Amino acid sequence: MPFLPTNKAELQALGISELDVILISGDAYIDHPSFGVPLLGRLLEAAGYSVGIISQPDCNKEADFLALGRPRLFFGISSGNMDSMVNHYTAQRKKRNNDAYSPDGQSGMRPDRAVIIYTNIIRRLFKGTPVIIGGIEASLRRIAHYDFWQDKVRNSILADSKAHLLIYGMAEKPILQVAEACAAGIDISELTDIPSTVCFVKKPEGLMLPDADLCSDKLTFHKMNRLFYENAQTTALYQKSGGRYIKHNPPAMPLSTKEMDSIYRLPFMRAPHPRYAGHEIPAWLQIRQSITSHRGCYGGCNFCAIAIHQGRKIQSRSAESILSEARKLPGVITDLGGPSANMYASKCKLDYPDTCKRRSCLFPNICPNLNFDHDVQLRLLDAVAALPKVRHVFVASGIRHDIALANPRYISAIAQKYTGGRLKLAPEHSSDAVLKLMGKPSIKHFESFSKEYFAEVKKAGIKRQIIPYLIIGHPGTTSQDALHLKNWLKQNRLKVEQVQEFTPTPMTISTCMYYTRLDFELGTAIHVPSGGEIRKQKELILGKAQKPRPRRPRNIRA
């Protein structure tokens, strides 16, 4: 199968005069299921629609947006696999020098706030054609949200972009429903009840969130986020945003194993488009020998956006589907996993009933209704490793060490067979007070796992390291907490080369705490470290001071 068309010459070669759907992405076009826009393109194609992709259009060149003409049904717009502002700026709001999703890692291939910019251009050039926005940037900005880069609360991105509809989450089911409705002649303004969508409505008919205009008030913003997290999974929510009412529909049902398998059977080229010949795309180099086994995460870390986007229900592929893909990847499979590798095939015994109000199945304790079986993943890893052309298979995705403690055989296999020289784990901090605000388990779980892991390493007579992922500057962190972390690292003879500075990404609970300076659960005041404090915490943990900036000479009058 060829790549999806990207220009009129490719359309003519395929004998297509008019496309049904045109998808626009801020990423380079890599035809692989790890990239959201190509995945949805192949899904729509399999459903009988003709689809084209415009990747990384130059906002100063109208010709880039006119390359495929006007679609019969709609435009779909995404910033790509990352929020454009997270992609462009560090936690200190400094411009990044590279972009992993662009040829040769070149920065500047997409604009800031790509979804809004692309949508405005398309609406100007193609008046009357429906525009649907989606992807991670739209998902994390679907209601009123705090924007770290402007230091203010913004409207829903649906209102700011003036798109016709927003699809949040992984989008397979809703985008097919939207395409079917548009093909049947239904006006897009009438699509107000599709799960996993946010739409405009004339009047609210249910639970109201505080108006976006009022959410700059910190107490109101805290209240809005509490209402959202308590009700968004089961109830339609309404909010006045940008002078119009929006309706946030509950999420779509997760994909079944059969549906997941069908997606990974789609005819992807599993390569970058030929236009990138001679150029390397860092994100592609990182994942080309990896396999996604599942999606979703029930960890519920307060700083993480995975559950907001992918959902907390684990959606797993079958072993047969994964083995089929592994046979096409001879040599070393660099990663077989998902957001948390050892959540593969996990289920809730009660199937996540509406009565369950937990945001995390693991915090503050492991839910007794959570059914996780590490032996299922071990059998999968063993089966992949036994394939004739596979030399090694590794788990490079993160693993949850707290649930791994339930299965010593899993720890032994990870230690001796399925990780390289370095195992990356995410304790995030050592202070229990900070970990509680993060929604993470006590550091004792990390210490217990490490003890068992190194016992297995010693038994096998091999050398291994554990590299801890740490976050500094999280809301509620003080200089004493940073000192506690420094001493803990020293006591455990752990030396880290880098730490992650907390970045307030839209719609996370930690970002709500950052903006409001309130404990999300209790509503009590907490300390939020400034940028200068965060730099000092970083220097303390890494054991080195940053070079002082040279002073500018003062003008001295004679």
Nearest to 132 by CA among 239, 24, 57: 24
What is the predicted pLDDT for the residue at 45? 98
Nearest to 440 by CA among 302, 534, 326, 333: 302
Secondary structure of residue 72 in the 3-state scheme: coil
Secondary structure of residue 23 in the 3-state scheme: strand
As given in the structure block, the two tokens for residue 472 are 């500094």
- Cross-strand pairs, 186: none
What is the predicted pLDDT for the residue at 302? 97
What domains are there in the chain, each with its CATH number? Answer: 8-193 (3.40.50.280), 289-397 (3.30.750), 421-545 (3.30.750.200)
- Name, in order, each residue with C-beta under 8 angstroms of 553's C-beta and a sequence gap of 6 or more: none
Q: From the centroid of its chain, how far is CA 99?
A: 16
What is the predicted pLDDT for the residue at 494? 87
Cβ contact 6:19 at 8 Å: no
Radius of gyration for the alpha carbons in the chain, expressed in angstroms and rounded: 24
Nearest to 348 by CA among 335, 337, 333, 358: 358
pTM: 0.94
- Name, in order, each residue with C-beta under 8 angstroms of 83's C-beta and a sequence gap of 6 or more: 136, 137, 140, 141, 505, 506
What is the predicted pLDDT for the residue at 553? 40
Cβ contact 310:352 at 8 Å: no
What is the predicted pLDDT for the residue at 364? 95
Nearest to 537 by CA among 479, 498, 491, 463: 479
What is the predicted pLDDT for the residue at 421? 84
Angle between helices 319-326 and 257-264 (to 10 degrees): 20
Q: How far apart are the first and last CA of the chain?
A: 78
- Cross-strand pairs, 295: 315
What is the predicted pLDDT for the residue at 544? 63
- What does each of the 558 residues of the chain score in pLDDT, given as a tens digit? 599 999 999 999 999 999 999 999 999 999 999 999 999 999 999 999 999 999 999 999 999 999 999 999 999 999 999 999 999 999 999 999 999 999 999 999 999 999 999 999 999 999 999 999 999 999 999 999 999 999 999 999 999 999 999 999 999 999 999 999 999 999 999 999 999 999 999 999 999 999 999 999 999 999 999 999 999 999 999 999 999 999 999 999 999 999 999 999 999 999 999 999 999 999 999 999 999 999 999 999 999 999 999 999 999 999 999 999 999 999 999 999 999 999 999 999 999 998 998 999 999 999 999 999 999 999 999 999 999 999 999 999 989 999 999 999 999 999 999 998 889 899 999 999 999 999 999 999 999 999 999 999 999 999 999 989 999 999 999 999 999 999 999 999 888 878 999 999 999 999 999 999 999 999 999 999 999 999 999 999 998 644 444 444 433 332
As given in the structure block, the two tokens for residue 90 are 């560090």
Cβ contact 248:196 at 8 Å: no
Cβ contact 98:106 at 8 Å: yes
> Distance between CA atoms of 390 and 231, rounded to whole angstroms?
46
What is the predicted pLDDT for the residue at 198? 98
Greatest Cα pair distance in the chain: 84
What is the predicted pLDDT for the residue at 549? 47
